[in-house]
Amino acid sequence: MDLDALVAQASEILDAAAEPFLEGHRADSAVSKKGDDFATKVDLAIERQVVDALTKATGIEVHGEEFGGADVDSPWVWVLDPVDGTFNYAAGSPLAAILLGLLHDGDPVAGLTWLPFTGQRYTAVAGGPLMKNGVPQPPLEHTELAESVIGIGTFNIDSRGRFPGRYRLAVLENLSRVSSRLRMHGATGIDLAYVADGILGGAISFGDHVWDHAAGVALVRAAGGIVTNLAGEQWTPESRSALAAAPGVHAEMLDILRRTGNPEDY
């Protein structure tokens, strides 16, 4: 596969999807999902548009957040999140994105992250470099946590599950002792793209959805960053969390996570 050609084709398709994305800002909930999650009519329409166009243009099937599709363990598969940061999008915040990753035997070999409201377009193929609006970016350098802005996922203190709210709060507390520059953007894919771009030194995702992570993992790795799960194991489509960071920051954040203890103890 010519990854650069595939990314070029996919870029044109996401550019076309950016128009309805911009027009649909503040869209109401159309479909209720698990818990308090939901999808807007824009999520549904963009997924249909992008899936149809990608399949016709590239011959590679798509796994989307809203309608599923090809298995993520297929030899080649696009993974799509039509609106990353749906709560932000519906509320009118500009922190929302379109995420598209390409997996080859489970390995993220290309990623595209479009932020239509801010005009940022990130692409990368395995081996780098990270491209921002078509311009190659320098690789990430070794950085220290104390000097970094860190993204972290939102939470309810009383929530349970794999990463209880009180565990997440403990992680936040322990990170703050080293870096007080913590941010909750409410959009996992944006956090990962910003790690790749050096805007964030690192980011933690407590989520387990491959469509939230695939594009960003490809971007971060292409930029020279490190992505694992919260236990420090290499990220795969089956991973149920993500820790992405620049060299140096990743090791410091992983050490803090390990000293915080086991999530089940909270």
Measured between alpha carbons, how far is 188 from 199 in angstroms, rounded to an integer? Answer: 14
Whether 28 has a pLDDT exceeding 80, the answer reads no
* Residue among 255, 65, 85 nearest 174 (CA): 255
The confidence score (pLDDT) of residue 39 equals: 64
Residues 6+ positions from 256 with CB-CB distance below 8 Å: 171, 174, 175, 178
User: What CA dihedral angle connects 95, 98, 100 and 106, to 10 degrees?
Assistant: 50
Residues 203-225 have pLDDT tens digits of 999 999 999 999 999 999 999 99
Does an H or E element contain 52, and which?
helix 41-58
Measured between alpha carbons, how far is 74 from 165 in angstroms, rounded to an integer? Answer: 34
Backbone dihedral region of 250: left (phi > 0), alpha (psi from -120 to 50 degrees) or beta? Answer: alpha
Share of the chain above pLDDT 90, in %: 87
Tokens of 258: 């390990």
The radius of gyration of the chain from alpha carbons, rounded to an integer in Å, stands at 17
Q: Is 2 annotated as a binding residue?
A: no
Q: Is 43 annotated as a binding residue?
A: no
Q: Is the dihedral of CA 150, 153, 21, 14 positive or negative?
A: positive
Mean pLDDT taken over the chain = 94
Given CATH 3.30.540.10, say whether it is the number of domain 3-136: yes
The confidence score (pLDDT) of residue 34 equals: 52
Residues 81-127 have pLDDT tens digits of 999 998 899 889 999 999 999 999 999 999 999 999 999 999 999 99
Domain assignments of the chain as residue spans, ordered by start: 3-136, 145-265
Q: Is 264 annotated as a binding residue?
A: no
Whether 38 has a pLDDT exceeding 70, the answer reads no
DSSP 8-state symbol, 199: S
Q: Is 84 annotated as a binding residue?
A: yes
**Alpha-carbon distances of 220 from 75, 156, 166, rounded to whole Å:** 22, 28, 28
Do the strands 62-64 and 68-69 form a parallel or antiparallel pair, or are they unpaired? antiparallel
Whether 30 has a pLDDT exceeding 60, the answer reads no
Q: Is there a contact between 97 and 85 (Cβ–Cβ < 8 Å)?
A: yes
Query: Which amino acid, one-letter code, is at 249?
Result: V
Q: Out of 3.40.718.10, 3.20.20.70, 3.40.190.80, 3.40.640.10, which CATH number does the structure's domain 145-265 have?
A: 3.40.190.80
Whether 22 has a pLDDT exceeding 70, the answer reads yes
